[in-house]
Structure 1
Amino acid sequence: MLAMQYSFTLPADYDMTIIERRIADNGHLLDGYPGLIFKTYLYAIQNDGLTASDENLYAPFYLWQDAASLNSFLLSPGFAAVSRAFGRPEVKIYPVLSVALSPDIRQAKFACRKIEPIRPYSSLSSLGEPVKIGEELARLVAWDPQNWQLIGLSLWKILPQEVASTSQNYQIGHISLPKN
């Protein structure tokens, strides 16, 4: 599995209802996309009181079954449209170490992404230990072996304050999942 995220930082005076409307109009287009485990349409509104974000962001986060599925999307007309609208982003791709998904993942309204450095010369053997979910509806741990970082993503129905203060937080406009 591979995690993927790109992010657009938008001006402070950007009308974020444009992003919300774009997600509402187009989010369903990736529902059932081959090889997609999930896509969260993430956004944060500067100083909105919900995500404690310092910036306006549009930052979708994907979980792919494999590289072929990820490549299929990046080479697609859908990604070309995003690039035309906002510019071609730096796409970050991470091998996934562990993931746990609740059957109620559709109920998630918030996401928390935390990036932590991997200590130099620390043992890497424990990085792949399975994650478990408690109150969160999904939890994923991936890593960036180029920059020696762990990337954690958790999805929540209600954003817990103790988690929110230590991560980049987003609202979820839509979650695309496989068709059943």
Structure 2
Amino acid sequence: MRTLTVTGLGLACLLAVAGAHAKPRNVSDPEAPRALPTEGTVQVQWTDPAQFTELRTSRNRWEAQRGDWVVTLAEHLRKQADKRLPEGQKLDVTITDIKRAGDYEPWHGPQMDDVRFLRDIYPPRINLQFTLTDANGQVIDQGERRLSDTGYLFNSSLPSNTDPLRYEKRLLDDWLRRELQPERKTAGL
């Protein structure tokens, strides 16, 4: 019985020490990945999140950089693009800037420092570069897009959705719906 207690206590201490040294997730960590693992027909990478508008202009930079929301958005983009991409085509996307919907308003006081206020003056914005190729590697389309949804608060289908990235995901979904239309054959046609 005493051995079990000592072992349990030792394990608890080990977990506490390991937890103390674990770094919180931070999108601007220089050691964090800058691309999803290469697989399938959709490749997604991103530039340095520390340079994204979301972090550069945030009124609460610490809260804005918490989590792995860049990876979550990249995974969502890959999953949705993979569903829409015509067979034989490949899509390569580089996310160059993100400004999430809403912002922090420090004038509400310290108890509200970590609350993101959703107002029409804080629309979601995503800038990206992409290249769409066919099965032979011929470029079908490429370019840069600046996505924004100034009416993001007026979509009645989202109030029950509690995903903190729901507005940014919808922005990407709308872009994919417009960009990946089945009747597209080659660039310029």
> Normalising TM by the smaller chain, what interval?
under 0.3
Q: TM-score, normalised by structure 2?
A: 0.26
Higher relative contact order (CA 8 A, sep 6+): 1
Q: TM-score, normalised by structure 1?
A: 0.27
Greater strand content: 1
Q: Which has the larger radius of gyration?
A: 2
